[in-house]
Chain A
């Protein structure tokens, strides 16, 4: 059987917060910097989403069903598509209609709910599923958690929710001698099959592509297909941010030429494209994978330290999720929506203090000058939100 290549792109845009001062607490419940959100979204749409959707659509048409990709688009990003660039939703719809594009399930708000609140996690996964069905007319069958966060427990929860396939990181510290280029199963529940990201090959595109100091620069589609062919196993999972194309790696690096040529080069090299759900239905798992502690695809550590590594992040996270119960009692749409947006993992990411390892990549997407500013601003917003929650709860209990 031909070796498979599974290409998956993550699309996400956070709801960046405006400068929210102590003086605003209790007075102003408008939290978002819509100017920054619109400006950044428009830029990324122009640099990446629009050209890449066109490139992928053409490649699918040229290759008559043999080129396939998967997307996961967060609910927060979908809201921004609707607000700032609705024409791009049509373009995704067109991709969906080819039948060669699988849309994955995730938490609507790109949140870390899986680590704290199973109830909130399920709510968000369902909310996301409904939105994908509504917008693209397809029902997601495979799951990918925020930042590819995964553990045995999270996997078994996902399996219980009816998913058969889940994507995560082929982190070295959990793989050991094992290769990520096979299908594995969840250690607690063998019904759930795992696709593991091949991070060296994924990062060759996502991080190293434009690095002129890299001894493999410049990277051509042919050379890359050579590496895919050399890889062991049945499947190579290439998972990366969609924004890699045209945004992280700008057009001038030749990234669009590379991705335009890649489908034909892969097929000519005797390989085949599969979507995540196809992969797990075609290929047999080789083993169960034990992941007692959560992993992710971030930073060198491949753990949660980018979001929950310091005391600032932990306190913000604890304070936020302590509201879950109150919100379900109140059950108010506006409060739910703010609660969701405040759960976006990006807010915690901005508070990361790991300056010396992967600080640079953190800094690139960070609207704040320092993690401390990020924390202060977030806590001011959260304090206002807590006041609203408590007021709504008091009102509810009175009536």
Chain B
């Protein structure tokens, strides 16, 4: 079995967890005898290709190969994105808008025909344009390689349009993999309807939908209205091979409780701060660290100052590479109080570093981690209790560290990808 896989990033150059998960997946698939062609918008050339063949979309010119322009455009509905939302218009104007859109698509396509597009592959201001262009290039790549794969696998909304294009042009089955949804990124009032639309189109066009947790599976079924029979949960795993736990000399004698991740609404930073203030009322020999950055960071800093705990609550800003490992190595308790977390790989990393973890019930990881402490994200009293207990009772923290370490080592992509292969087989 061979898979054409559309991703957005791949280690070593990654901005989020998606790239790491993709690497784990292609390696797991390779272990189980499945070949992958991994397409990404911008490859740097230093990606590890031992388990997959990477196709850099920036190197591929838009080309229809055998099909004509009209056929190509008939099958693949591109979205043109640079205008604002179209306000309500009457039927006549609407048909003009549609006609104009069509002309624009042909024009766009003509401009891009035969051209390469240098993707940034990041999550920048022209993300929507990159997503649309990635679909065009993705369609081209699928046609050019049509004899080299049996199934298409697209990761997250950024690649769904490329997946749809590939399916339309080659007729091969499509599996979309939901690592996160708009519902995890913010409340319904502030969602980007363009993203929501792409997500829905991807899930609807897919022959099967893989979700990273049952939590996410429920969202896909209930919020996007996808047939439950089509949606399968394959929990994430984590690849710790070749990882030695760092030994880091500690500067502070106090115990350290760490939050590491984007500081956004979704991650529940304010609940961590409230719990920290409660713990500090009972014990002084502890420090709290919020590592990462995000749009709620400044609010978090103000909250800490207002509560008068800024000598015990530290911010590190965004950490990269070895500093992340260093931060785990310096921690005594890890906390992930996410309001909505499709999976959440960071507690697994913490537990692998022998750090006991407290995670919210509202995270996918809670479905697989028996030895993590689980609380509701809003229950700051329970969170404070657990932190306090892990700091004060060595028997408890030692037990949690030891069991947790073994638990996360057993979560292997080799096993997770076996489930994925079953999903592939069901649509072939």
A pairs with B: yes
Q: Which of the residues A25, A316, A372, A375 comes within 8 Å of B252, measured between beta carbons? A: A25
**Distance A316 CA – B305 CA, assembled complex (angstroms):** 8
Is A356 an interface residue when CB atoms closer than 8 A count as contact?
Answer: no
Q: Known: A311-B302, A312-B301, A315-B305. Is A22-B314 also a contact (CB below 8 A)?
A: yes
Is A45 an interface residue when CB atoms closer than 8 A count as contact?
Answer: no
Q: Are B314 and A375 in contact (CB under 8 A)?
A: no
Q: Are B251 and A27 in contact (CB under 8 A)?
A: yes
B306 — nearest CB in chain A belongs to which residue? A311
B311 — nearest CB in chain A belongs to which residue? A319
Residues of A within 8 A of B305 (CB): 310-312, 314-316, 375
* Mask of B297-329 contacts with A, CB within 8 angstroms, 1/0: 110011011101011101111000001001000
Q: Are B308 and A318 in contact (CB under 8 A)?
A: yes
User: Which residues of chain A from 23 to 47 have a CB within 8 Å of any chain B CB?
Assistant: 23-28
Residues of B within 8 A of A312 (CB): 301-302, 305, 310
Q: Are B311 and A386 in contact (CB under 8 A)?
A: yes
Q: Known: A22-B316, A372-B298. Is A315-B310 also a contact (CB below 8 A)?
A: yes
Is B190 an interface residue when CB atoms closer than 8 A count as contact?
Answer: no
Is A158 an interface residue when CB atoms closer than 8 A count as contact?
Answer: no
Q: Are A25 and B306 in contact (CB under 8 A)?
A: no
Q: Are A379 and B310 in contact (CB under 8 A)?
A: yes
Is A50 an interface residue when CB atoms closer than 8 A count as contact?
Answer: no
Q: Which of the residues A315, A373, A380 comes within 8 Å of B306, measured between beta carbons? A: A315
Residues of B within 8 A of A375 (CB): 301, 305, 310
Is B249 an interface residue when CB atoms closer than 8 A count as contact?
Answer: yes
* Mask of A362-379 contacts with B, CB within 8 angstroms, 1/0: 000000001011011001
Most buried by A among B253, B287, B302: B302
Is B250 an interface residue when CB atoms closer than 8 A count as contact?
Answer: yes
Q: Are A24 and B251 in contact (CB under 8 A)?
A: yes
Is B289 an interface residue when CB atoms closer than 8 A count as contact?
Answer: yes
Is A387 an interface residue when CB atoms closer than 8 A count as contact?
Answer: yes
**Distance A372 CA – B295 CA, assembled complex (angstroms):** 12
**Distance A376 CA – B305 CA, assembled complex (angstroms):** 10
**Distance A312 CA – B305 CA, assembled complex (angstroms):** 5
The tally of residues in B whose CB lies under 8 Å from a CB in A reads 26
Most buried by A among B291, B314, B326: B314
User: Which residues of chain B from 347 to 362 have a CB within 8 Å of any chain A CB?
Assistant: none
B249 — nearest CB in chain A belongs to which residue? A27
User: Which bracket fits the contact residues of A?
Assistant: 20 to 34
Q: Which of the residues A27, A315, A316, A376 comes within 8 Å of B317, measured between beta carbons? A: A376
**Distance A22 CA – B319 CA, assembled complex (angstroms):** 11
Residues of A within 8 A of B310 (CB): 312, 315-316, 319, 375, 379
**Distance A376 CA – B304 CA, assembled complex (angstroms):** 11
A376 — nearest CB in chain B belongs to which residue? B315
Residues of A within 8 A of B314 (CB): 22, 25, 376, 379-380, 383
Question: Closest approach, in angstroms, between the C-beta of A175 and any C-beta of chain B?
Answer: 34
Residues of A within 8 A of B298 (CB): 370, 372
Question: Closest approach, in angstroms, between the C-beta of A356 and any C-beta of chain B?
Answer: 16
Is A48 an interface residue when CB atoms closer than 8 A count as contact?
Answer: no
* Mask of B391-428 contacts with A, CB within 8 angstroms, 1/0: 00000000000000000000000000000000000000
Residues of A within 8 A of B330 (CB): 23
Residues of A within 8 A of B317 (CB): 373, 376
Is A348 an interface residue when CB atoms closer than 8 A count as contact?
Answer: no
A383 — nearest CB in chain B belongs to which residue? B311
**Distance A37 CA – B44 CA, assembled complex (angstroms):** 39
Is A116 an interface residue when CB atoms closer than 8 A count as contact?
Answer: no
Residues of B within 8 A of A384 (CB): 251
Q: Are A25 and B251 in contact (CB under 8 A)?
A: yes
* Mask of B274-287 contacts with A, CB within 8 angstroms, 1/0: 00000000000001
Is A21 an interface residue when CB atoms closer than 8 A count as contact?
Answer: yes
Residues of A within 8 A of B323 (CB): 23
A380 — nearest CB in chain B belongs to which residue? B314
Residues of A within 8 A of B304 (CB): 315
Q: Are B326 and A26 in contact (CB under 8 A)?
A: no
Is A382 an interface residue when CB atoms closer than 8 A count as contact?
Answer: yes
Q: Which of the residues B250, B289, B312 comes within 8 Å of A26, measured between beta carbons? A: B250
Residues of A within 8 A of B326 (CB): 23
**Distance A80 CA – B311 CA, assembled complex (angstroms):** 29
Residues of A within 8 A of B250 (CB): 26
Residues of B within 8 A of A24 (CB): 251
**Distance A373 CA – B316 CA, assembled complex (angstroms):** 10
Residues of B within 8 A of A26 (CB): 250-253
Q: Are A315 and B308 in contact (CB under 8 A)?
A: yes
**Distance A316 CA – B311 CA, assembled complex (angstroms):** 8
User: Which residues of chain A from 4 to 26 have a CB within 8 Å of any chain B CB?
Assistant: 21-26
**Distance A314 CA – B310 CA, assembled complex (angstroms):** 11
Q: Which of the residues A22, A314, A376 comes within 8 Å of B301, measured between beta carbons? A: A376
Question: Closest approach, in angstroms, between the C-beta of A370 and any C-beta of chain B?
Answer: 8
Residues of B within 8 A of A21 (CB): 316
Question: Closest approach, in angstroms, between the C-beta of A196 and any C-beta of chain B?
Answer: 34
Most buried by B among A22, A25, A310, A372: A22
**Distance A130 CA – B326 CA, assembled complex (angstroms):** 47
Residues of B within 8 A of A372 (CB): 297-298, 301
Question: Closest approach, in angstroms, between the C-beta of A71 and any C-beta of chain B?
Answer: 36
Q: Are B311 and A379 in contact (CB under 8 A)?
A: yes
Residues of B within 8 A of A315 (CB): 304-306, 308, 310
A384 — nearest CB in chain B belongs to which residue? B251
User: Which residues of chain B from 208 to 255 have a CB within 8 Å of any chain A CB?
Assistant: 249-253
B315 — nearest CB in chain A belongs to which residue? A376
Q: Are A23 and B251 in contact (CB under 8 A)?
A: yes
Residues of A within 8 A of B289 (CB): 22
B313 — nearest CB in chain A belongs to which residue? A379
B253 — nearest CB in chain A belongs to which residue? A26
Residues of B within 8 A of A316 (CB): 305, 310
Most buried by A among B251, B304, B317: B251
Residues of B within 8 A of A387 (CB): 252-253
**Distance A27 CA – B250 CA, assembled complex (angstroms):** 8
Residues of B within 8 A of A319 (CB): 310-311
**Distance A372 CA – B308 CA, assembled complex (angstroms):** 15
Most buried by B among A27, A311, A384: A311
Residues of A within 8 A of B302 (CB): 310-312
Residues of A within 8 A of B315 (CB): 22, 376
A382 — nearest CB in chain B belongs to which residue? B311
Residues of B within 8 A of A382 (CB): 311
Q: List 18 A-B contacts (CB under 8 A).
A: A21-B316, A22-B314, A23-B330, A26-B251, A310-B302, A310-B305, A311-B305, A315-B306, A319-B310, A370-B298, A372-B298, A375-B305, A376-B314, A376-B317, A383-B287, A383-B311, A386-B311, A387-B252
Starting from the known contacts A375-B310, A386-B311, 7 additional A-B residue pairs (CB-CB under 8 Å) come to A22-B289, A22-B314, A23-B323, A24-B251, A311-B305, A311-B306, A370-B298
Interchain residue pairs A-B with the least CB separation, the first 7: A26-B251, A27-B251, A315-B305, A26-B252, A311-B305, A312-B305, A311-B306
